[in-house]
Copies of this chain bind each other. A is one copy, B any other.
Amino acid sequence: MVISLAQISDVAKLAGVSPATVSRVINGSAKVSEEKAKRVLEAIKATGFKPNEIARSLYKKSSRIIGYIVPSILNIFLNEIGRAIEEEAFEHGYKMILCNSDENPKKEAAYIQMLTAMNADGIIITANNDNLDEEIRNCPLPIVVLDKEASGRYTAVVQSDNYAGGRLATEYLLKCGSKHPVLMRPPQKYSSGRQRFLGYVEVCEEHGIQPLYIDSPFSSNDGLRCSKELLERFPYVDGILAVNDMTVLSLYKVLLMQGRRVPDDIMIVGYDGIELGGLMTPELTTVLQPIEEIGRLSAKIIIDQVADKTPDRQEYILPVKLKVRQTTRPPAGSSDEFGGTGETILKKDGV
């Protein structure tokens, strides 16, 4: 069953005007006599006319679409950011489309090309393969990168303060009395991972403690393996800085099997602040990334870019907080939030 859609010429004919006039009525791009405008509006309603966005954007070179490319559609943290992007976008008359690159550079390239070719107004992309640089160089759209160092041709980089996050979690764990905190070290190929590691190491050194860590990927598949390995290598561990919130589910499983109690024997601090952390039992103490802000800011940058064409590249580093819940034994007299500078850091650098 093919339904044929009304075109602008159909509307024009019905209203007894030219297509140009119909276009002017739709877009309000020029004055049209009240008389004719009324006839046009009626004709639009009668025909059920919806302008063909393809034709429109072929001329306008803007489709009011923001593309969001993620390595996995199953990453809850990234999806929560996506929701914020979507909300900000929609409030400004934009739409967000989410593309799953599946950690596959070919798909990533294909989606960048698709978004370019469909005249999207910008791309928000998360930490990705480095061999994508050529694709990005050839892409004329504004590109906002999440969670990556500001190298290559990007319009802006939006991140939370991973260094502060690493420090915050470590300091709190020590303050709660952990003597041997161990870090599930995030992948060092990402600057976010390096920064967090740095924060951890520095705090350890400031307290004269030996930094201990085990390398951990972000994917939840590896959570179980890493958790087991951690406990084997550091059986005396009494505090764990998880690579992210999701991994903590696996950690719980291993700890329970070994009969270790949380937070009595081992304290845990997660990372990200996804909603799931609050649903776990015990509820997860974690470093809150400003998920909402990251998403909204990224979308806003692209929307502003469309209007302004401001050419200078910027790097935004948003502050993090610690959300204290049940996986830590709080020191006396503490509230449920801890630290965080509250300041957004903004580095400008010309292109």
Contact = CB atoms under 8 A, between A and B. Distances in A.
A86 B63 contact: no
A253 B256 CA distance: 15
A86 B57 contact: no
Contacts of A2: 140
Contacts of A48: 138
A79 B73 CA distance: 6
B138 A3 contact: yes
A20 B252 CA distance: 63
Interface string A227-246: 00000000000000000000
Interface string A145-184: 0000000010000000000000000000000000000000
Interface in A86-102: 86-87, 90, 95-100, 102
A259 to B, nearest CB: 13
Contacts of A90: 107, 110
Given A54-B54, A118-B118, A351 B98 contact: no
B79 A113 contact: no
Contacts of A99: 95-98
A114 B95 contact: yes
A46 interface: no
A74 B83 contact: yes
A289 interface: no
Contacts of A5: 116, 140
Nearest to A99: B97
Interface stretch (A125-133, A189-197, A273-281): A273-281
Interface string A263-289: 000000000000110011101000000
B114 A220 contact: no
A98 B98 contact: yes
Interface string A25-64: 0000000000000000000000010111111111000010
Contact of A74 (B79, B110, B111): B79
A76 interface: yes
B76 A98 contact: no
A96 B86 contact: no
Nearest to A276: B249
Contacts of A113: 50
Nearest to A55: B58
Nearest to A279: B249
Interface of A: 1-5, 48, 50-58, 63, 65, 72-74, 76, 79-80, 82-83, 86-87, 90, 95-100, 102, 107, 110-111, 113-114, 116-119, 138-140, 153, 220, 223-224, 249-250, 252-253, 256, 275-276, 279-281, 283, 311, 351
